[in-house]
Amino acid sequence: MHKPDYKIRTMTRAEVDIAIDWAAAEGWNPGMHDAQCFYAADPNGFLIGLLGDEPIALISVVKYGSGFGFLGCYIVKPEYRGQGYGLQIWKAGLTYLQGRTVGLDGVVAQQGNYMKSGFKLACANIRYQGVAGGDFPANPAIVPLSTLPFAELDAYDQTLFAENRTAFLSCWIEQPASTALGILQAGKLAGYAVLRKCRSGYKIGPLFANSGALAEQLFLALNASAPAGAELFLDTPALNPAAVALAQRYGMQVSFETARMYLGTPPNLPIERVFGVTSFELG
């Protein structure tokens, strides 16, 4: 029987929902409303591989600004693995990001394969899991992000991410079933964080702050805003000991680890201000 040709093309917005479902099936626990914001980041940055009409492979290759890209959602249906379909869509994705520094958060077991394409290990990102709930004393320095000028938030974010991600950020902080908070110091934004509902529990990401004390205040405020007893997740860079200590201080346990890797020159970011990464799929 003749096998239909394998075709790779850009996903439609509806097909990004398929990517999120597949990510959930892999145990990656995506957010309930990730698809809309992922698509907003770069509508051309999602590729799908089809045999006839059947989707069998996916990859996200989102462009940020003029010089950075992030690769994620790299999944081949289990029954089609080991047949070269994944490698073809991987190559198509890297072609789309050609000329840019490319980041990814890969499962540790696949590091060797990514190195074959020129990726180099930068650090580990560690997913911590705990239980939400608890009281949080009122803190006038913590405000809903919606009360601040978006331009101020956008400028702050660009000091902590490799490139401008305005379209993504404006969607991320306004998604349903989420809480987005900023913390002020001398009237200026000195940190922000977002809590969102996921397939299982809630995730905090990003958690950016100018100091460990400010990060802890944001963490406690979001922890208290989540339903008591719900699972709570925080993805911390292993290279920020204060972030790791924060997670451990509140009884969180390691549940997953990724290898943050880069192709090209890694961005020079102030890792000591990154207490939680935004997402393993988009950076």
DSSP 8-state class, residue 198? B
pLDDT score of 135:
82
DSSP 8-state class, residue 64? E
Give the tens place of pLDDT for each residue, 20-71: 999 999 889 999 999 999 999 999 999 999 999 999 999 999 999 999 999 9
Residue 103 neighbours by CB under 8 Å, 6+ apart:
68, 69, 70, 71, 162, 260, 261, 262, 266, 267, 283
pLDDT score of 2:
46
Contact in structure between 276 and 236 (CB atoms under 8 Å): yes
Give the tens place of pLDDT for each residue, 150-184: 999 999 999 999 999 999 999 999 999 999 999 99
Give dist(CA 82, CA 202) in Å, integer.
Answer: 34
- Residues in the chain, overall count: 283
Count Cβ atoms within 10 A of the Cβ of residue 123 and give its class: 0-12 exposed, 13-18 middle, 19 or more buried: middle
pLDDT score of 31:
96
Which residues of the chain are in CATH 3.40.630.30 domains? 6-103
Which candidate, 273, 152, 157, 255, places its Cα nearest to that of 211?
273
Contact in structure between 94 and 118 (CB atoms under 8 Å): no
Give dist(CA 43, CA 15) in Å, integer.
Answer: 11
DSSP 8-state class, residue 95? H
- Reported as a pLDDT band with limits 50, 70 and 90, residue 3 is low
Residue type, 209: A
**3-class DSSP state of 235:** strand
- Reported as a pLDDT band with limits 50, 70 and 90, residue 218 is very high
pLDDT score of 55:
97
Which residues of the chain are in CATH 3.40.630.90 domains? 127-276
Q: What is the mean pLDDT of residues 96-103?
A: 98
Percent helix, strand, coil in the chain, to 5, is 30, 35, 35
Reply yes or no on domain 6-103 having CATH 3.40.630.30.
Answer: yes
DSSP 8-state class, residue 31? B
Count Cβ atoms within 10 A of the Cβ of residue 99 and give its class: 0-12 exposed, 13-18 middle, 19 or more buried: exposed
Look up tokens 């920020």; give the residue.
Answer: 240
Structure tokens at 116: 């074959």
Name the CATH topology of 127-276. Aminopeptidase (3.40.630)
| Model confidence at 1: pLDDT above 70 | no
Residue type, 244: V
Structure tokens at 20: 């999120």
Provide the whole-model pTM: 0.96
